[in-house]
Amino acid sequence: MLLRKLSIVMLGPAGSGKTSLASALGNWLEGLGYNVAYINLDPAVEVLPYKPTFDARDVVRARDVMLKEGLGPNGAIIRSIDILSENYEYLGKNLMNINSNSDLMIVDTPGQLEILMFRNSGLKLINIIKEVSKPVGVFLLDPTLGLRGNSAAVVTLMAIVIRLGLGIPTLPVLSKADLINVKSVIYSTSYYTEVEQILDELRSGGEILTDMLIEVLNIVKKYLRPERLLAVSALNGYGIEDLYKAIHEIFCTCGDLT
Ligand SMILES: Nc1nc2c(ncn2[C@@H]2O[C@H](COP(=O)(O)OP(=O)(O)OP(=O)(O)O)[C@@H](O)[C@H]2O)c(=O)[nH]1
Ligand SMILES: [Mg+2]
């Protein structure tokens, strides 16, 4: 019987810190004695901070596709993911082997989250990961892009959308927590009061979709973790242990045997 071990899938918009966190979390786990496998599913990356155990670029490189097929950068990535997914047997065989020879996998994904979410080829890749392991997603949001009063609710809702779209449990996490402005927001914001504030604003607003939003947010509130939003730094290791605990909690709840 196949023992499906944990895989941690880094998800998030371009530049949110997926690759850096894959490396930092992997290093931390290796420090604890785990045999970590690094799976790079990004055919466009040039330099990786970790040594990939499986590298999508051995199948296809976005740069080559750009030159050969005369595509722009986004078109080339989309085409590369299609090519990668056409090689699903090769991927499945390799990942199966890697799964049996390691304790857990860390999966790094391309910047374009929408390719994974909305294209069959992206979903096919996620399905391969699901066949060989028990994935837990980490949805990273880069708070340097501008944290607003509704960021916790938005990032939580995004994680729920990913859970629905990809079919894997996904944790909402803020990246780059070493940055001063990020820290101040993390420490001053309570998830719960934040959602309460948005609800208050909505109630006084009168938009057409207000009633629906209020219902959605009430559900979000019901399932919010009681603590603050998870925040991590790949740079100084802040929050990595808490993140791993949260991942493990989800993994254990889901069970580890097929
Ligand atoms: N200060 C700080 N910067 C970070 C951290 N993590 C990543 N960065 C920076 O953010 C930028 C993007 O990081 P990546 O790890 O490449 O992000 P990514 O999501 O893999 O990017 P794509 O794969 O291109 O979508 C780089 O300049 C990193 O140095 C962090 O924890 N703290
Ligand atoms: Mg990356």
Q: Using CA atoms, how far apart are residues 105 and 111, in angstroms rounded to an integer?
A: 19
pLDDT digits (tens, 9 = 90+) for 46-97: 999 999 999 999 999 999 999 999 999 999 999 999 999 999 999 999 999 9
CA of 16 to the centre of ligand 1 (A): 6
Q: Using CA atoms, how far apart are residues 186 and 210, in angstroms rounded to an integer?
A: 27
Q: List residues, by chain if needed, whose CB lies under 5 Å from ion ligand 2.
A: 18-19
How many CB atoms sit inside 10 A of residue 134's CB? 21
Count Cα atoms within 13 angstroms, Cβ side, for 133. Answer: 33
Q: Using CA atoms, how far apart are residues 50 and 69, in angstroms rounded to an integer?
A: 29
What mean pLDDT comes out for the span 106-115?
92
Handedness of CA 16, 6, 88, 114 (dihedral sign): negative
Judge contact between 40 and 109, C-beta under 8 A: no
Q: Whose CA is nearest to atom 12 of ligand 1?
A: 15
**pLDDT range class, residue 23, cuts 50, 70, 90:** very high
What mean pLDDT comes out for the span 229-247?
93
Query: Which residue ranges make up each domain of the chain?
Result: 5-178+229-254, 190-227
The number of the ligand 1 atom at minimal distance from the alpha carbon of 14 is 25
Judge contact between 43 and 62, C-beta under 8 A: yes
Decide which of 3.40.50.10680, 3.40.50.300, 2.60.40.10, 3.30.930.10 is the CATH code for 5-178+229-254: 3.40.50.300
What backbone torsions phi and psi does residue 12 show, to the nearest 5 degrees? 155, 165
